[in-house]
Structure 1
Amino acid sequence: MSGISSGVGLATGLNINEIVDAIIGVQRNALVKLANRASAFEATEGGIKTLEANLLTLNNSVKKLGLKSTFETLQATSSDTSQFNVAANSTATAASYQLQGLRLASNHQVVSKGFADADSTPIGTATTITLSQGGKLNESKLLEELNNGLGVQRGSIRITDRDGQTEVIDLTRTLNIQDVVDEINGSATSIVASIEDDHLVLTDTSSGLGTLKVSEVAGGKTAADLGILQSVAGSTLTGDSVYRVTSDFNLSQINDGNGINTVSGLEDLQITASDASTFNVNLDSAQSLGDVVDLINNNASNGGIVTAEITSAGKLSLTDNTGGVATTFEVTALNGSLAARELGIETTGLGGTITGTLSGGLNSVLLRNLNGGVSASGPVLNAGQVYFEDGAGGNATIDFTGVETLDDVIDAINANGSIQIEASLNATKTGIQIKDTSAASGTSIEIQDTSGNLASFLKIDTLLADSKHTVDSGSLDLRYINQDTSLSTYGKNGTAVSLGSIRITDRAGVSFNVNLSDPETTKTVGDVLTKINDAAGTAGAQVIARLNDTGDGFIVESTGGSAFDVKVEEVSSGTVAATLGIKGSGTMGVTSRQVTEISVEATDTLEDITEKINATGVASATIIDDGTAFNSARLSITSSRSGAAGGLTLESDFNFGFATSVEADDALIRIGSNPQTSFLLTSSTNSFNDAITGLEIDLKSVGTSPSTINVARDTSGIKSTINSFITSYNSFVDATKTLTSYNVDTNQRGVLNGNSVVLTTVSRLEGMLTKKLSISNSAIKSMSELGVQFNGNGKLELNSATLEALLADDPDSVTEFFQQEDTGFAVVMDEIITAMTDPFTGTLKAQSDSLQASALALNNRVDELNTILEDRRERLIRQFTLQETIVNQLNSQQTALESLTLLNTNKKK
């Protein structure tokens, strides 16, 4: 059977594929027209989406014009950029300030005496170097704390000594009372200033017989505020009291800043009157001294038995009103509370009165805060009599009964004329020094308690050899870390403690987790102690956390016997235990301290010591060669923490001869141009981001005069936003021109040429840009009045001078024009564009959906017709194939007939 070869029938010779293609092609013309119509719809839809995209971009700039932040953004500038860098954030307010940089922050640096070399000669003595940043016994009160919190007006004072020498003392940069003393003592007069309890004392050391006088300068009141505006005929001017505790003091301000420790939910103290009547007081709710007074006076069981008050001398006084004789008047602690002792009233009253001293005064400390401060297990001071004997044999027994502060002790010793002994703070200001000023020869100096324990409490009870005439207590371990110490600065170098969880294990293997991850309930050292103790109690563990005995941290210790380890671990790779300083284990417990101890071997060289110091991270050490012929190697140590809080106290039994080369100072700025009405601010760094709300201030240098800091509306931001709107609108214009274009040469039309939606959209936008709006309370009614106008190309352009003048003269009107409710340009323009571009109800959405539906319907019809034509093509191919088969059969039959005919013919022959 013959078939089809290459689309050509072998029987018929017809090109079947060409015939079928021709037949189908005639029928496909209609389908092509439908497809072209669908493509036109799709192109138009694409144009609509392009138009919509440009409108959305334009509306983004419109929305920015409608944001309050666009017009309320403030910019801070400094008139002296060499002195300050300033920036405003979202919380700033428009204003002008006068700021002057008075001092840059510095890191404390000390330098040792000279050594033979740095790397070969050992120091020869094993010792320990202790680095600490607290525990000073002479921390002075800030001037703002004086005069019941009213402070001191900073200015200048004039001092005249008895010789008639006069000098003006500038006190405009003083922060605390010690700064005042230092400025006076640095003058050329013969006057020496000192601090006693709550007042200043000026002593004239000249031989003059005139008047010792302090007066104001330029109408100021600095001398009066310092209590020294006086004239005296003698050589001593005793100032008025300028510091006393009042009922308004928060508890965190008393007890040398250590507050009081109450027992939550339980009563803290019991008061027993002389008629044997008693009542208990719970101080949990007390926040101030006034609260303490009220809780005592208003106690339901008091009923006038005892009256509490804060005296004019700034002490807490309890008065027994019963007049009874049955027993003594006393205050005792309850439930292990330390509050009564910390208030100074855990005692027996004499004459029906109990008085508690609440503060160490202007620059001293309470004795009860030494040796780690008040604790249930710590030593209790009993200040009685102490025997002193100097090297020349002079002796005296001094009665210290009733002393409360370290200054009281020093003054009592120095006031005794029977002994040639001088008491003072030691070189590091962390302890007391007793110096024999008698002849070098004679009996050894002796200090012994005869009653009470004051000498041993102060670590000065001793009998020295004949060649030694100075007793140094060493550190007296002043309590300066307490329950209220913030975790935000408790970490190394004043950093914040990490939050998370820790795991503690006791001797019996009982482990428990302590959750310290909540920043709202984990803010202080006290919060940590409470959470550890609560968790230990719940777990039944033999562990307790408390403030340590050295006053510089806390301890997590065993309660279940001796010589076993308490172990503290991190949970989930946290760093809480490490930053608290309690990660690890130790016999009887682990201690967190703010002090760093460095063990030095006798074989260590200066370089060895340098490496050990650098490993602590608390300070950096290096070797300096001073260039001298002998002993030129010096050890220099610099605190890693800047500012006053980073001041290092270095203590060692070995004489390194450390001397300060750079003081630890906070940065200091003055806010205001007049020192008498301005105030000072400090920062441990040179940043003052909390000084003025909304301003980030960086001090770059000390200024000779104030810098003006202006915080004003950021007009550059407004102008930028308007320019952005103009750019977006002009891009929209370019897009519409392309979409509606017509090229006469090529007869090419843009996809939206003649489209009514484009014309409507352009008309609406141009109308908004040219019309006067109904803006009340604003002189500006149209964009053209802002300097925004059309150019010859249908685009917008800005007259910057016009806009800048309006922003300078009437910025509120500019804001009102754009943002007035219902009628503002940005409000109305947003409504117009949104009405067109809304993804659900917008006119562009409706037309896009219609075009899309039409294109889809046509494409579906094209697909259907394509299917029909393909079916028809197959049918035609089959028909032509069948025809070819039939023709082939007929041809075969004809051939057969012709063969028969030929056969018959041959037979006849």
Structure 2
Amino acid sequence: MGASGMSISSSIGLVSGIDSGAIIQQLLSLDAQAKTPIFQRIGGLNASNAALLDVNARLLAFKSASSMFRTDDIFRSTNATSSDEGVLFANAGSSAIPGQYAFRVKQLVSTSQVMSGGFTSSTLEPLGLDSMSFEWGNGRLGRDVLLEDLNGGSGVERGSIRVEDRSGNAAIVDLSLASSITEVVDAINDETGISVSASLSGDRIVIQDGSGGNGNLSIQDVGGTTTASDLGIVANVASDAVIGDVINRLDELSLLSTLNDDNGVLIRDNVVDFRIRVGGDGGVIHAIDLGRQDASIDGETLLSDLNDGEGIRINETTGQADFSIVTTDGTQVDITLGQILDEDGEVESEAVTNVQELLSRVNATLEEEIGAGQVVMSIDADGEGFSLVDAVGGGGDLEVIGAGPFENETAEDLGIFTGTGGGSGNTIAGDRLPNTVEIASASTIQDVIDRINEQTNGAVTASVGPDGVGIRLTAAGELVSVLGDGIGGDYGTTTLEDLGFQIGVESTSLDGARVLGGMGTVLVDSVNGGAGIGDASSITITDRNGEAVTVDNLDVHSTMEELVTFLNDAVALVGVDVQVGMNAEGNGLAVSDSTGGSQNLVVSGEAAAALGIEIDVASDTARGLNIQRQYVSAASDLSTLNYGRGVGLGKFRITDGNGISAVVDIGNDSNNLYQVMNEINSRGLDVEARLNDDGDGMILVDTTGGAAAAIKVESISGSTARDLGILGEAESVGGSIDGSYERNVDLDVTDTLDEVIGKINDAGLAVTASLLNTNTGGSPLRLVLSSDISGLAGDLIVDTGGVDLGFNELTAARNAKVFIGEGAGGVLVESTSNVIDDIVAGVEIELQSASDSPVTVNVSRDETGIVDSVQAFVDGFNGVIEAINLYDSYDGESEIRGPLLGDPTVAKVKQDLYRILQQRAVGVDTQFRFLAEVGVKIAGEGQIEFDKARFEEAYAEDPEAVENLFAAYESTGTSTETIAPGVTVDNITTTYEELGFGDLFKQAIEKLTNSIDGTVTLASRNFDALIDAQNDRIAEIDQRLAAKELRLFREFTAMETTLARLQSQQSSLGMISQNLANAGALIG
């Protein structure tokens, strides 16, 4: 050991002086020369394999270029160009139809913003608010009506009208871009050349002359359109007013979804919606079902068609059960609906796909396990689901429980799940399973008329009532009444009420209440969450001079505008100087006194309370309460909820006050809110789902009557619970979870402007609060509230609970509006976004600015893209051939061999590609059948060339034939074969009746490159095997060399040991000799 602590070793013998290490290495290096040719062989094999993998990669690239002709619809790809990109951009997809389309952009989308009055400080001045509520898109008592919905759905032709006042001033009012009745009124009122005013009264337009002249007031159609006629205001009268015709009325084609202020009509499937009695007491009662009617389930019914197309979940894990049947004697039989393998691992039975296969599989399994006829599954008598009957005779209940990866879900999908302890006797009557729709649910007034006529065998005739706002029932002079008794389920009388009828009313001509919303107003029945004002008929108003009036019969009026007009007329008639109108927020009423008196302004009575204006104030004005216009109903389509953003599909878990929970799965079979509530209420929890009292959402009510914990809702998947507004936990034990779309922010009366802004933004609502500093005046600070939802769906209503912050509209919520087509026949499209998909099939329009001038969008086939794709196809083919030619080559001068010279695999690749290249397309009978006919042909060095000019000529001549040549594809699939009487097996074969060159090459390349048994794959594996074998030989040689090295080392070590021993012996002999000599000297 040296001073450094490092050991020094040497292969030079200490005794012999021989460098044994060098000798051993020389000997080993001679033996290692045997590896040199093996390494050379490995290098050659690696080069060959790398070359083959390069060919494989090029084949895959060529496959991609080939398959795109069909999979990417190359020949259907289109370009869209806009004549004015300053107004709109256009993008076209493969489904777009070439042609020219005209658009007129009336307006872009805008987002609702409101701004408060001024404040001097944002940190020192309390606002006095204890809460602030927000609503989006709904809740106002005013209601606009689209022109296309007027005149019973016949609409109003767009054009211009000529108006001449009584002083002879005339103007042409352009209504060609008007889309709603409010826009018509505004356009007339904004015309400065004439002295007239337009307003809405009931279901009419009223034109009032203000010129003071004595001529005629004239309104006429112009320009060949019928706009004025359709608006009901054509006139030429010596009068100061034109009272227009009724233009807001029902028609047989009126949509049920537009009735009741767009709250629609609840229609339930496969239940009685209501009953009609003809003939008074003891008369004939007819059950009326307005719901959808499904095809009956039979043996040929596909499982994928059940449950509204969601099908039956079957696990893909071979051999695992999908559900289990527990017989009345407790025997459990596992049922597998998926693929079944035999003992050798071969497929014995494929997964069941239709009802007959399902029943055969279930009953065969039951027979095998417990004997024939002991438990049988069948289609129920109504053809609406499945039933099971147990003949075992045990003392328990027949049950179906979950099994396998999907647990309960397969049995639930089949409608037969009971769960452990959930059976009832020896029979399971399964739930109804929605099948394919034969007759859709009623959606129009005409559908209701037809269903009533059919289901009463013509005894009852339904029609639009003579007033045009309701429905009439008659029965050839017999008494007619509508009944709700005997109807099962929640909301059993809702449908008849939604159609305007009441139980207990009987007449030979039964007229339902008004169900058509008014122009600019809502129905009285829509306020107070849909409860209306009931029988609250009386109101007393006392002005500030002490004059009082009591007005009765307010409950007979149908619309809020009609009620308020009647009230104001009655008050004015007796000289009480008080007016009732709409409050600033638009969600309630307001009362104003113009007497100048000093006493209190007082409004009282049952109707005052129902209308939110029960007041007693020392003020000239008083703001009424939010009277909660209903805009969510049981019939509300889920796509319209959540501020127009819809309710997503998904699952959530509800836990009731007793801690019991259940999962609710909202899928494609739930279309309206009633169906969601029905799903929740079917779970057996102490929780009731119903509409809330304000008519603006769903509420979950704790019904335990002594809960131990607060109810809660947790999301499992999707956004369903959040979209319904029910995600979370009740605020207290026994409390409810209210999914109201009106949201409240709790505030303190001492909160300053900054604090209010912070609390609003922290609440996570679809509104943003900000501070605006105008830097003008003594109160420059403003509170700005901006809706986070664009368009009319985000129309922001801010209610400060009577504290006047001086809010004014900064930006009105508007939908983007664009007309398709020119002139009066243009079709209006509205959107909450400036990007509108499929406004024309396959075309996306991006609006940039409004314009009175039409913009033309030209959609044409993307011929440049088609040519580029064919060029990519040619390049892909040539890339493969180029690689093969490079690797399968020999240079005579340099005598260099390619790594794949003579390789049979690349020879087959080349042969297959050339064979397809020169054949004809399969089954294509259009003009072009060979690639050479469209300019794709063999050139030098075995590659192909693309004659673009010839291709473009062929495409111009017959584009369909060129498309078929590359992209044709038609196949037939699985068939069955009878192998024994009553025994059939699937014969899984695919026959191609038509196949273009894109798929011809794609399929050939798939056979060559398939990762399991492709020709190139197998050849590459062979190279790998050969390389592994050579590496094994190298390893064997290395093992022999290592053994030899060890042996030689040991031999040299032994030699050194021997020499050392001999040297030691010689030293000993020398010492003996010296000792003898010394001894001799002493003796001598």
The match for 2:808 is 659
Distance 1:812 1:564, change over 3 A: same
Please name the residue that 1:454 is paired with: 607
Offset, 1:639 = 1.2
**2:99 matched to 1:95?**
yes
Q: In structure 1, what is the Cα distance between the partners aligned to 2:1023 and 2:273?
A: 84
Shift in alpha-carbon separation, 1:820–1:367, aligned structure 2, 3 A: closer
Matched residues in 1 for 2:748 and 2:1007: separation? 84
**Distance apart, 1:42 and its partner CA:** 8.6
* 1:364 aligned counterpart, secondary structure: coil
Q: In 2, Cα distance between the equivalents of 1:739 and 1:330?
A: 88
Percentage of matched positions with identical amino acids: 27
Rate the CA distance shift 1:57–1:665 in 2: closer, same or farther, 3 A: closer
> Which residue is equivalent to 1:778?
927
Extract unaligned runs of 5+ from structure 2.
1-10, 17-22, 292-441, 970-993, 1047-1084
Residue 698 of structure 1 pairs with residue 698 of structure 2:
no
Seen in structure 2, the aligned counterparts of structure 1 residues 398 and 421 have a Cα distance that, compared at 3 Å, is farther
CA contact (8 A) 1:387 1:395 kept: yes
Question: CA distance change for structure 1 residues 799 and 236 in 2, over 3 Å: closer, same or farther?
Answer: same
- The 3 A distance-change label for structure 1 pair 805 and 701 is farther
**What residue is the counterpart of 2:465 in the other structure?**
311
Q: Is residue 2:234 matched to residue 1:77?
A: no
Q: Give the C-alpha shift of residue 852 in structure 1.
A: 9.6
Alignment of 1:368-517 (within 5 A): 368-374=525-531, 380-383=534-537, 391=545, 393=547, 395=549, 397-400=551-554, 402-416=556-570, 417-419=573-575, 420-437=577-594, 439-441=595-597, 447-449=603-605, 453-462=606-615, 465=618, 468-488=619-639, 490-491=641-642, 494=645, 496=647, 499-506=650-657, 510-517=658-665
Task: Name the counterpart of 2:755.
Answer: 608
For the residues of structure 1 that align with 2:1042 and 2:660, how far apart are their CA atoms? 80
Match of 2:883 in 1: 735
Is the radius of gyration larger for structure 1 or structure 2? 1
How do 1:679-758 and structure 2 match up within 5 A?
679-744=827-892, 746-753=894-901
Change (3 A) 1:784 1:422: same
Secondary structure of 1:148's partner? Answer: helix
Question: Any conservation in 2 of the 1:95–1:711 contact (CA below 8 Å)?
Answer: yes
Label 1:297 to 1:277 Cα distance change in 2 as closer, same or farther (>3 A). farther
Q: What CA distance in whole angstroms lies between the structure 1 residues aligned with 2:97 and 2:143?
A: 37
- Quote the Cα distance in structure 2 between the aligned partners of 1:849 and 1:564: 68
Distance 1:731 1:561 in 2: 78
> CA 1:62 to 1:372, structure 2 compared with 1: closer, same or farther past 3 Å?
closer
Distance 1:720 1:457 in 2: 71
In 1, Cα distance between equivalents of 2:42 and 2:598? 122
Cα offset, 1:399, TM superposition: 4.0
Ranges in structure 1 where 5+ consecutive residues have no aligned partner: 11-16, 875-909
Quote the Cα distance in structure 1 between the aligned partners of 2:806 and 2:1021.
89
| Aligned residues of 1:779 and 1:813 also touching (Cα < 8 A) | yes
Instruction: Work out which of the residue numbers 549, 557, 562 in structure 1 matches 2:693.
Output: 549
Structural mapping, 1:138-287, within 5 Å: 138-188=142-192, 189-261=194-266, 276-277=281-282, 282-286=287-291, 287=442
Shift of 1:492: 6.9
**CA shift for structure 1 position 479:** 0.8
CA contact (8 A) 1:267 1:280 kept: no
Distance 1:622 1:43, change over 3 A: closer
Q: Could you tell me how far 1:223 is from its partner in structure 2? A: 1.5
1:523-672 equivalence runs, <5 A: 523-535=671-683, 538-539=684-685, 541=686, 543-559=687-703, 566-570=710-714, 577-582=721-726, 583=728, 584-586=730-732, 587-616=734-763, 617-652=765-800, 653-672=802-821
Q: Report the CA distance between 1:88 and its aligned residue.
A: 2.9
Once the 2 structures are TM-superposed, how far is the Cα of residue 701 of structure 1 from its aligned partner?
A: 2.4
Partner of 2:502: 346
Question: Does the C-alpha gap of structure 1 residues 388 and 231 become closer, same or farther in structure 2, counting only changes over 3 Å?
Answer: farther
1:493, 1:618 within 8 Å by CA — same for their partners in 2? no
Aligned-residue offset at 1:172: 2.3
Kindly state the Cα deviation for residue 222 of structure 1 after the two structures are TM-superposed.
1.6
Cα distance in structure 1, aligned partners of 2:958 and 2:270: 62
Change (3 A) 1:660 1:805: farther
CA contact (8 A) 1:562 1:588 kept: no
- Once the two structures are TM-superposed, the CA of residue 567 in structure 1 deviates from its matched residue by 1.9
Deviation at 1:180, TM superposition (A): 1.0
Q: How does 1:125-136 map to 2 (within 5 A)?
A: 125-133=128-136, 134-136=138-140
CA distance in 2 between counterparts of 1:724 and 1:797 reads 11
The 1:145–1:619 alpha-carbon spacing in structure 2 relative to 1, beyond 3 Å, is same
Whichever residue aligns with residue 712 of structure 1, its letter is S
Q: SS where residue 668 of structure 2 aligns?
A: coil
Change (3 A) 1:814 1:446: same
Deviation at 1:865, TM superposition (A): 13
CA contact 2:634–2:674 (8 Å) conserved in 1: yes
> Cα deviation per residue 1:24-51 (whole Å; 9 max; x = unaligned)?
99xx999999999999889777766665
Q: Distance in 2 between matches of 1:120 and 1:841?
A: 80
Q: Which has the higher contact order (CA 8 A, sep 6+)?
A: 1
TM-score if structure 2 supplies the norm length? 0.67
Tell me how far apart the structure 1 counterparts of residues 95 and 696 of structure 2 sit (CA, whole Å): 38
Tell me, what secondary structure is at the counterpart of 1:106? coil
- Counterpart of 1:343, as a letter, is L
Give me the CA root mean square deviation: 5.0
Following TM superposition, by how much is the alpha carbon of 1:215 offset from its aligned partner in structure 2, in angstroms? 1.7
Q: Which residue pairs with 1:898 in the alignment?
A: none
Distance 2:952 2:280 in 1: 84
Q: For 1:553-604, what per-residue CA distance to the aligned partner results, in whole angstroms no more than 9, with x for missing partners?
A: 2322244659997522315598654543332334542322111223443322
Distance in 2 between residues matched to 1:784 and 1:237, nearest whole Å: 73
**By how many angstroms is 1:678 displaced?**
0.9
- Match for 1:199: what amino acid? R
Residue 485 of structure 1 contacts residue 524 of structure 1 at CA under 8 Å; is this kept in 2? yes
Structure-1-length-normalised TM-score: 0.79
Alpha-carbon contact 1:104-1:668 (below 8 Å) kept: yes
CA gap of 1:849–1:398, structure 2 versus 1, over 3 A, is: closer
Give per-residue Cα distances to partners, 1:55-93, cap 9 Å, x unaligned. Answer: 554444344456572222233333333333333334433
d(CA) in 2 for partners of 1:274 and 1:49?
A: 87
Q: Give how far 1:660 is off.
A: 0.7
Partners in 1 of 2:1040 and 2:786 — Cα distance?
93
CA contact (8 A) 1:487 1:523 kept: yes
Residue matched to 2:124 = 120
TM-superposed CA distance for 1:480, in Å, is 0.8
